Structure 1
């Protein structure tokens, strides 16, 4: 009897505990789904859904852990105690098994899986589903020692595999006293519990290794920092934000110089890998963490156009803006000419275009949006540049993280009150 599994998987642990309860020996075959081993032609021939766990019993292949568990009981059980033949008792067990799959474990997946990928759990609605699921389970267990009757069944085994998964992420069971009481007993009476817990420790280690350790050294108001924040939002990455005030020389400490010898912000440190210059960071985040390549396509021509716009932003648009803001010399005619020329070029790029580098939002839009939005500080009117104005109005609606971008900007707005009249007049 071959059993394809991963020890940390909840479904795999259900089958292992059920086999232990029946005294059935499994020929365990590790299948690492993270390496795509379930997609080999040999395994797809066994299970076209290419899922684990999968059991092959003398040529008969079956998958989905709860189906495997009930199959094992019916074929190898010395009696029917784990899955009684009585239709009413069996119906309750089946209801609990479906509840486990579609409600309890599904709530775990919706709330915790995002954390494993981004370092941030699901939203408040997903957490509410977790809590509601446990409230249901708590109700089922009112006055009950087991989840589906007066004795241990495959329903207890399946649900203990799920609840123990919540245990390793430190979900608080004390709010659900019936569940807590049942769980304490289930750990004692369920055959194979020790192997279940061992598998969970392996899963916990994987989770810890997947947990993001991504530091962003930044200030909230500069455009480059805001571009990184918006891109991180777009790819679903959680940043550990570390304020670094260069006016106080915090970027010149020996510790920071070791990370970035240019001592500039923003600087990103992703699990020991340090990178700076905001546009390089944007590309890195999109390439490493983007769910697809829409923000920075792999197509060489599309990528080249985005790169051109990023260099335009840095060397022309941002530089012209920075020269005026940095010196505060609103009477500098040459500086005004450079800024106006930059806007005219951007207006040309956007002729007949919804986005600055193609037909969809890319990191070029995010970078240029961070630059253009800086002019919110002086309330400029973009009507001289209608394509820019149209693009900007849309970009504010569709760019993830816009609100945080605006919040960072407005924290500095009063510092620009003095130059605002002169700025608006010249622009």
Structure 2
């Protein structure tokens, strides 16, 4: 493991006051820039537990409202009279928002602080969830856009808080964050259709706004606790040396390449895996959808396995290499041994949750300051989600042009190879 997990680097330790209780945060009470402060000090056990619980409730809202749409997308299209292109826009707007709005979200988090940014994110998620169910094409598109912006803000703010306040437990907290997002997605995927059958699709989708309400109730006092903890703390970071800035830029580029491979593979497989299984195995639509479900569910296990591996003194590079090998198993098995699809689905599902955790753990551990972590996270997410938004369309077009999934699966193999190479370098000494 990195030294940050064993008490932090010398710079981190010097950033803390006597007894390790100095500031590692914004130095502005969450109301201004996170500046150049260095992460390192730990929250008190009781306060840390409450903040972490609230943070995980926030995390539930960063994917669940989006995945709720898929089970009732046909009902939405029928009810609103939308074309296939319009329905496709509903599903692609959020990922495009992740790519396009991340720089602005990062600037807002730096200016307002992550505590207030998360409150705004949850308000946007709640408002977007309700607006999406307004009953017209205009409100559906506008609500989805508001949802995307709110989730983008949360995507940026949560890793900043993990870096600043949970850095010595970054792997475990990031794993819990990732697992909670996937668990929330699983819940809305499973229960939205039954709710729609009972109450209609509008109430079924709007009803998940209760998740945002619960998160707001928990986060507002937790955010005040963090803001009070960091209020008046003088910035302890210094302007980075040119060599340090170069290393950080290199880390950002490497992790952006890795995240681009991760998100492209994830969104491509999430979109096309049922169709691939239907074509190559002969499953009917219902069976193919059920067979693809473990790809999402296994991500919860993968997110928790990463901190266990790092706690067991496996290196970050070793963990990343194992996960990339697991990821590779799905496209390779679908190409050469389709009947073993279930092995690849389970292994790649665990890997996609684990790789997400590794990438954001590396950002938290390797960034010399909270501001550096925020900027690095913004670069990684902007480039990664831009590729993820394009991947399903491009691979679908390639399938249509060739009449086979072979070329599309070959592209996914290439994406995983690029991801593995970038993580190999980023997780090694040169990536520090």
Whether these two folds match at TM > 0.5 is no
Report the TM-score when normalising by structure 2. 0.20
Whose Rg is larger?
1
Larger relative contact order, structure 1 or 2 (CA cutoff 8 Å, min sep 6): 2
**Larger proportion of strand:** 1
